[in-house]
C-alpha cells in the first residue's frame, strides 16, 4: 500500500557485493521498528562506485521490491550510503559576535555558514556536521564548550564543523539509479561508518574516544570520535574482496569459488593445537565439475596474511595520517560491516591496533525488528541510515535544502548535530 506517513523511514546501501534496503516505522518514543527488508546482488558496482547504471538499477529495483512486499508499504524517499574514494574532509571553525546577549537560531546559522568552504564544480558537500559549540562571555578569548547554545547568554559563539564533500557524479549516479528503479528520491547521503555510528556507538564510547570501522567488500570506511567530538572520517579502497583475491591467487580458484570458501570456512588464525583438515572445493576442469581438497591451515594462513595487510593499512590511515595517538582512543576500535564477520577477526585486530577491539552491536534500546537483520553486521549501515533522519537527535539536520537538477541533485549544506 502507498503511504505518505511521515513516520515511515527507508534506507538504501548500495555496496560492492550486495544492495540492501530497509523500511522502518518511527515510534512515538523515538525508537524505530524495522518493517521490511530487501537484499540483492549488486551488479554494475566496483569498489563501492556505480560503473553501469542499467545493471545497478536492476539491483536497486529488486531490493526495493522485496522490502515493499515484506512491509506492505511503497516508499517515495530514502537515505543512501555513499562510498566515494574521492571523498574530501575539512574541519573548520565559524564564529558569530552577538548583537544581543542571548544566542538565537539566527546566530547559530550565521556561525555555521561562516564555516562553509568553497568546493570545486565537480564536488558537492553532503554533510556539514557541527561537532562542537562553544561560547565566550566577559573574556572573548576564553571559550566554554556547550551542548546547545540556543538562548544561552554569550558575547561570542564559536562552532566547529566537519565538512564532507564527494564527487557530483557519484551522487548523481545513485539518484538516477533509484529514480529509474522505483521513481523514488534520495533525501540525504552519509558515508557508511558515520551511519553505523548512529546505530552502534553510545555517547560514553564517543566521550572516551573510539574508532568505528565499517569493512565492506570493496571499500572500508572509518570515523573517529574523541572527547565526544567527531574528529575525522575516511574511505579506503580495501575490503573483503582483497581477501578473496588472495585466496584466488594462492589456490588458482575462480572468484566466486574463493568467496564461498572464505564465507564458509574463513578464519583469521587457528590455534596451535588445532588439527589440519581437508576442505572440499568444487572446481570446473575442462567444463566438468571436480572436487579438490585444500588444507584448512593453508587457507587460514592466506586469510591471516591478507587481513594483516588490510588492518595495517587501516592503522596507518587512521592513526598516522590523522596524527591520532592511541592513548586517546580509550574505548578502542569497533568493527562492523559484512566483511567483519570473519571468525577470530577481533582478536587478530587487537594485535595490530594494540587497542581493545570488539564487534559492533546494534543498540537494542533504539532499534526493534527482525533478529536476522539486527544481528547481521552487513545491515548495520542500512539501520544507521534510518536513524540519521529521526525527528530528534542523531544526525537530524538543523537546515536542509535539496535542489533537483536534470540528471541528479545539487545539494546545499546540510547542517547536522551529533
Q: Is it the case that residue 20 has pLDDT exceeding 80?
A: yes
Q: Is it the case that residue 88 has pLDDT exceeding 80?
A: yes
Pair 166, 128: CB distance under 8 Å: no
408: Cβ contacts below 8 Å, ≥ 6 apart:
168, 171, 172, 173, 175, 176
**Residue 415 banded pLDDT, cuts 50, 70, 90:** very low
Give the model's pLDDT for residue 101.
Answer: 87
Q: Is it the case that residue 413 has pLDDT exceeding 70?
A: no
- Per the DSSP assignment, residues forming a β-bridge with 77 are 185
Give the model's pLDDT for residue 197.
Answer: 97
Can you read off the three cell numbers belonging to residue 46? Answer: 566496483
Give the model's pLDDT for residue 390.
Answer: 56
Q: Which CATH class is domain 90-165+408-417?
A: alpha beta
Pair 60, 14: CB distance under 8 Å: yes
* Region for 252 from its dihedrals, namely left if φ exceeds 0, alpha if ψ lies in -120 to 50, beta otherwise: left
What is the Cα–Cα distance from 141 to 134, expressed in whole angstroms?
Answer: 11
What is the Cα–Cα distance from 245 to 274, expressed in whole angstroms?
Answer: 26
Burial code of 155-191, b = ≥16 C-beta within 10 A, e = fewer? ebbbbbbbbbbbbbbbbbbbbbbbbbbbebebbbbbb
DSSP 350: H
Percent composition of the chain: helix, strand, coil (DSSP 3-state, to 5): 35, 35, 30
CA 230 to chain centre: 14
Mean pLDDT over 185-204 rounds to 96
**Residue 389 banded pLDDT, cuts 50, 70, 90:** low
**Residue 123 banded pLDDT, cuts 50, 70, 90:** very high
What is the Cα–Cα distance from 280 to 197, expressed in whole angstroms?
Answer: 39
Pair 40, 85: CB distance under 8 Å: no
What is the Cα–Cα distance from 282 to 298, expressed in whole angstroms?
Answer: 17
What is the Cα–Cα distance from 341 to 356, expressed in whole angstroms?
Answer: 17
Residue 347 is inside which H or E element, if any? helix 345-353
Q: Is it the case that residue 414 has pLDDT exceeding 70?
A: no
What is the Cα–Cα distance from 198 to 67, expressed in whole angstroms?
Answer: 22
| Percent residues over pLDDT 70 in the chain | 91
Q: Is it the case that residue 392 has pLDDT exceeding 70?
A: no
* Domain boundaries along the sequence of the chain: 90-165+408-417, 203-360
Give the model's pLDDT for residue 274.
Answer: 82
Pair 95, 74: CB distance under 8 Å: no
DSSP string, 207-238: HH-EEEEEE-SS-EEEEEEETTEEEEEEEES-
Segment 32-74, tens digit of pLDDT = 999 999 999 999 999 999 999 999 999 999 999 999 999 999 8
CATH of 203-360, one of 3.40.50.2020, 3.90.1150.10, 3.30.420.40, 1.10.730.10: 3.30.420.40
Give the model's pLDDT for residue 269.
Answer: 80
Higher pLDDT, 413 or 218: 218
Pair 331, 356: CB distance under 8 Å: yes
Q: Is it the case that residue 83 has pLDDT exceeding 80?
A: yes
Give the model's pLDDT for residue 321.
Answer: 83
Q: Is it the case that residue 118 has pLDDT exceeding 90?
A: no
On the question of a common fold for 90-165+408-417 and 203-360, the answer reads: no
Give the model's pLDDT for residue 410.
Answer: 35
Segment 124-164, tens digit of pLDDT = 999 999 999 999 997 878 999 999 999 999 999 999 999 99
Give the model's pLDDT for residue 2.
Answer: 45
Of 71-85, 107-121, 163-177, 268-282, the one with minimum mean pLDDT is 268-282
Segment 286-342, tens digit of pLDDT = 778 889 999 999 999 999 999 999 999 999 999 988 889 999 999 999 999 999 999
Nearest to 44 by CA among 32, 59, 55: 55
What is the Cα–Cα distance from 186 to 7, expressed in whole angstroms?
Answer: 16
Q: Give the predicted TM-score (pTM) of the model.
A: 0.88
Q: Return mean pLDDT, the chain.
A: 89
Give the model's pLDDT for residue 280.
Answer: 92
Measured CA distances, 192 to 79, 98, 129, 292 (Å): 11, 37, 15, 38
Q: What are the phi and psi torsion angles at 265 (to 5°)?
A: -125, 5
- E strands in 260-339: 278-285, 288-295, 332-336
Residue 165 is inside which H or E element, if any? strand 156-167
Residue 107 is inside which H or E element, if any? helix 105-114
Q: Is it the case that residue 23 has pLDDT exceeding 70?
A: yes
Mapped onto helix, strand or coil, the DSSP state of residue 41 is strand
**Residue 266 banded pLDDT, cuts 50, 70, 90:** confident
Give the model's pLDDT for residue 183.
Answer: 83
What is the Cα–Cα distance from 405 to 68, expressed in whole angstroms?
Answer: 27
What is the Cα–Cα distance from 308 to 258, expressed in whole angstroms?
Answer: 19
Can you read off the three cell numbers belonging to residue 294? Answer: 585444500
Location of C-alpha cell 592503522: 315
Amino acid at each position: 500500500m502507498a503511504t505518505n506517513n511521515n513516520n515511515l523511514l527507508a534506507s538504501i546501501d548500495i555496496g560492492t557485493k550486495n544492495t540492501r534496503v530497509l523500511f522502518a516505522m518511527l515510534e512515538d518514543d523515538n525508537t524505530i521498528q524495522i518493517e521490511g527488508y530487501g537484499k540483492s546482488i549488486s551488479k554494475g558496482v566496483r569498489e563501492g562506485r556505480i560503473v553501469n547504471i542499467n545493471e545497478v538499477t536492476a539491483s536497486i529495483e529488486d531490493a526495493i521490491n522485496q522490502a515493499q512486499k515484506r512491509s506492505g508499504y511503497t516508499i517515495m524517499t530514502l537515505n543512501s550510503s555513499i562510498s566515494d574514494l574521492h571523498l574530501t574532509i575539512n574541519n573548520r571553525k565559524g564564529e558569530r559576535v552577538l548583537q544581543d546577549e542571548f544566542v538565537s537560531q539566527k546566530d547559530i546559522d550565521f556561525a555555521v555558514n561562516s564555516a562553509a568552504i568553497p568546493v570545486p564544480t565537480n564536488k558537492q558537500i553532503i554533510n556539514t556536521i557541527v561537532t562542537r559549540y562553544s561560547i565566550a562571555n566577559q573574556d572573548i578569548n576564553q571559550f566554554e564548550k556547550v551542548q546547545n547554545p540556543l538562548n544561552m547568554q554569550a558575547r561570542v559563539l564559536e562552532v566547529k564543523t566537519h565538512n564532507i564533500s564527494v564527487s557530483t557524479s557519484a551522487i548523481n549516479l545513485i539518484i538516477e539509479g533509484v529514480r529509474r528503479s522505483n521513481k523514488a528520491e534520495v533525501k540525504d547521503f552519509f558515508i557508511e561508518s558515520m551511519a553505523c555510528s548512529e546505530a552502534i556507538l553510545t555517547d560514553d564510547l564517543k566521550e572516551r574516544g573510539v574508532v568505528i570501522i565499517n569493512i565492506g567488500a570493496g571499500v572500508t570506511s572509518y570515523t573517529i570520535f574523541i572527547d565526544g567530538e567527531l574528529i575525522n572520517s575516511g574511505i579506503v579502497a580495501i575490503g573483503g574482496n582483497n581477501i578473496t583475491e588472495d585466496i584466488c591467487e594462492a589456490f588458482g580458484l575462480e572468484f566466486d569459488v574463493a568467496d564461498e570458501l572464505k564465507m564458509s570456512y574463513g578464519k583469521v588464525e587457528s590455534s596451535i593445537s588445532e588439527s589440519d583438515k581437508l576442505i572440499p572445493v568444487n572446481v570446473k576442469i575442462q567444463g566438468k565439475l571436480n572436487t579438490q581438497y585444500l588444507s584448512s591451515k593453508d587457507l587460514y594462513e592466506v586469510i591471516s596474511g591478507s587481513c594483516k595487510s588490510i588492518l595495517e593499512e587501516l592503522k596507518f590511515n587512521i592513526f598516522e595520517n590523522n596524527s591520532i595517538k592511541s592513548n586517546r582512543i580509550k574505548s578502542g576500535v569497533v568493527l562492523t560491516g559484512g566483511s567483519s564477520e570473519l571468525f577470530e577477526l577481533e582478536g587478530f585486530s587487537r594485535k595490530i591496533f594494540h587497542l581493545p577491539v570488539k564487534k559492533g552491536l546494534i543498540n537494542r534500546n533504539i532499534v526493534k525488528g527482525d533478529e536476522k537483520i539486527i544481528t547481521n553486521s552487513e545491515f548495520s549501515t542500512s539501520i544507521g541510515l534510518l536513524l540519521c533522519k529521526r525527528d530528534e537527535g542523531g544526525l537530524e539536520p538543523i537546515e536542509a535544502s535539496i535542489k533537483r537538477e536534470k540528471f541528479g541533485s545539487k545539494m546545499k549544506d546540510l547542517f547536522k548535530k551529533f
